[in-house]
């Protein structure tokens, strides 16, 4: 299993026993999967996609091109590239082991789970975005008008999976950290028996299940476009050159900004707060980099990176490619190259617990569930993902932006700065640190 902690997804590499392997739900960034295959001495012979992913681009097309892998996917997905289309009940001989397609719509219309069997006995089931550990993947990705219908389909899909033998391993794609699923901190894999005993959704009747699936919170805007790209098939990449960032001198970056480009600052949030290209957006290079890049920057806007000398440009480029963003390049010399060219910088004041000035508006940009669990009394709440569209509507007044640690707040301050706001500060920490420093109670509820 290869886990992307940022996107919250698991890709599976299964040894078929003859020197070849099956890869299930491979991402476009195949570096970790290939490293695992090389370490085990395996050639990837099959690449299976459980559904048309909305949160990342599939690596199946790349595996077909590079490794001559057979792509296995739902025939109902109408993919526009060569693949072995499967319908409910179809089986594939993997050379002793067998892979059976099980229609499990709900997360998407064409969703398949894959039951892996040895001698007719199920070993495990790759459940993709149907049954996940402690929950089920969201059913609202096709719009509110389809949500109830898909939730009822998901209910039936989970019951179908629950009829597999209790010792059948459950291998989901979505898990903790994924905006396609709900429970944080859950284990990545399980068994049918364990889920029957512990998954609260499996104990609900259909109407209660539908009601529960309607409250999973917001999700990144880029989810609305990736399924269509996965249906067409992402472009094949030249892996020998992909991952490099073109170095752009300050005058070239300035011209790109004038033409509508966005500078994304991948340095740690505190470095960005001290000095940054005016109007740039801080998205620190951490596991969640791709999620926030896709959420905060429109798909058709050229992106220039500012990074620290110790940050890997390939890591930035591949994380972006995983969600279909091709970076234009990076600022030559980073922020020092910008200032050396005589260009101005901007900064945000960093505020520590106990230093909040009474005259400042407090803007909390965490998710709705986080805010409801505890926030500063009187704080204004706008989720970070919604701020780009609402920043211009907010009154320009001295503002302290806060989240749980500081990274999202720094991103939000950049969005406010781009919208013309002044006198911005970023809180170092979160509401809990404020409560501990001041001895005051947090407010709860929306």
Q: Which two tokens stand for residue 416?
A: 């406010």
Work out the angle at residue 372's Cα, subtended by the Cα atoms of residues 368 and 377, and round it to the nearest 5 degrees.
120
- Active-site residue 403, yes or no? yes
Is 444 within the bounds of a domain?
Answer: no
Which SS3 state, helix, strand or coil, does residue 61 take? helix
* 139 lies in the same domain as 59: yes
Residue 148 and residue 138 in contact, taking contact as beta carbons nearer than 8 Å: no
Write down the pLDDT at residue 216.
75
User: How many independent structural domains does the chain possess?
Assistant: 3
* 384 lies in the same domain as 428: yes
Residue 227 and residue 310 in contact, taking contact as beta carbons nearer than 8 Å: no
Closest CA to 79 of 102, 67, 99, 61: 61
* 314 lies in the same domain as 374: no
Task: Give the residue carrying structure tokens 């599939």.
Answer: 58
* 197 lies in the same domain as 104: yes
Q: Which residues of the chain have pLDDT under 70?
A: 177, 180-186, 215, 357-358
Is 55 within the bounds of a domain?
Answer: yes
* 225 lies in the same domain as 77: yes
Is 236 within the bounds of a domain?
Answer: no
Residue 30 and residue 63 in contact, taking contact as beta carbons nearer than 8 Å: yes
Contacts of 393 (CB under 8 A, 6+ apart): none
Q: Which two tokens stand for residue 340?
A: 């050396």
Q: Which two tokens stand for residue 265?
A: 């600052």
- Rounded-to-integer distance, Cα 71 and Cα 234, Å: 14
- Rounded-to-integer distance, Cα 312 and Cα 14, Å: 29
Residues 112-146 pLDDT 10s: 999 999 988 999 999 999 999 988 998 988 888 88
Residues written for the chain: 446
Is 446 within the bounds of a domain?
Answer: no
Is 443 within the bounds of a domain?
Answer: no
Which SS3 state, helix, strand or coil, does residue 114 take? strand
CATH number of the domain at 401, please: 3.40.250.10
Closest CA to 81 of 40, 47, 114, 106: 47
Write down the pLDDT at residue 324.
93
Among residues 165, 199, 230, the one where a domain terminates is 230
Write down the pLDDT at residue 118.
93
User: Is the dihedral angle over the CA atoms 360, 409, 339, 258 positive or is it negative?
Assistant: negative
Is 180 within the bounds of a domain?
Answer: yes
Strands across the sheet containing 91-93? 91-93, 97-103, 112-118, 121-128, 169-172, 190-191
CATH number of the domain at 45, please: 3.60.15.10
Q: Which two tokens stand for residue 40?
A: 């085990």
Per the structure, the complete domain to which residue 28 belongs is given by 2-230
> Can you name the residues that pair with 172 across neighbouring β-strands?
128
| pTM for the structure as a whole | 0.90
Closest CA to 157 of 88, 226, 55: 88
Write down the pLDDT at residue 319.
94
């Amino acid at each position: 299993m290869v886990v992307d902690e940022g996107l919250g997804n698991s890709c599976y590499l299964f040894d078929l026993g003859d020197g070849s392997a099956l890869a299930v739900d491979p991402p476009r960034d195949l570096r970790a999967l290939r490293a695992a295959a090389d370490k085990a001495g395996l050639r990837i012979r099959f690449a299976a996609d459980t559904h048309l992913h909305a949160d990342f681009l599939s690596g199946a097309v790349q595996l077909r091109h590079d490794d001559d892998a057979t792509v296995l996917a739902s025939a109902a997905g109408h993919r526009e590239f060569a693949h072995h289309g499967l319908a409910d009940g179809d089986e594939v001989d993997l050379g002793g082991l067998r892979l059976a397609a099980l229609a499990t719509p709900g997360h998407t219309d064409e969703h398949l789970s894959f039951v892996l069997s040895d001698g007719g006995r199920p070993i495990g089931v790759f459940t993709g975005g149907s049954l996940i550990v402690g929950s089920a993947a969201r059913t609202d990705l096709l719009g509110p008008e389809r949500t109830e219908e898909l939730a009822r389909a998901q209910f039936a899909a989970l019951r179908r999976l629950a009829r597999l033998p209790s010792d059948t391993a459950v291998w989901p794609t979505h898990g903790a950290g994924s905006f396609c699923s709900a429970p944080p901190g859950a284990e990545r894999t399980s068994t049918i028996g364990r889920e029957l005993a512990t998954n609260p959704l499996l104990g609900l009747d259909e109407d209660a299940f539908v009601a529960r699936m309607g409250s999973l919170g917001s999700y990144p805007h880029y989810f609305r476009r990736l399924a269509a790209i996965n249906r067409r098939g992402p472009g094949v990449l030249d892996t020998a050159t992909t991952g490099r960032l073109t170095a752009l001198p300050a005058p070239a970056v300035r011209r790109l900004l004038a033409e509508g480009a966005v500078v994304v600052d991948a340095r740690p949030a505190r470095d960005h707060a001290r000095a940054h290209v005016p109007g740039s957006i801080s998205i620190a290079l951490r596991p969640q980099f791709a999620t926030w890049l896709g959420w905060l920057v429109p798909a058709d806007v050229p992106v220039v990176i500012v990074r620290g000398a110790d940050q890997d440009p390939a890591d930035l480029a591949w994380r972006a490619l995983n969600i279909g963003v091709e970076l234009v390049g990076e600022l030559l010399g980073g922020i020092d190259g910008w200032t050396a060219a005589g260009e101005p910088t901007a900064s945000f004041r960093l505020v520590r617990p106990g230093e909040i000035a009474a005259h400042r508006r407090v803007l909390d940009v965490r998710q709705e569930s986080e805010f409801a669990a505890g926030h500063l009394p009187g704080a204004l709440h706008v989720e970070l993902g919604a701020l780009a569209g609402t920043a211009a509507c907010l009154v320009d007044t001295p503002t302290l932006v806060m989240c749980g640690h500081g990274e999202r707040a720094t991103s939000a301050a950049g969005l406010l700065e781009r919208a013309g706001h002044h006198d911005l500060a970023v809180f170092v920490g979160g509401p809990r640190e404020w409560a501990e420093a001041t001895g005051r109670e947090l407010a709860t509820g929306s």
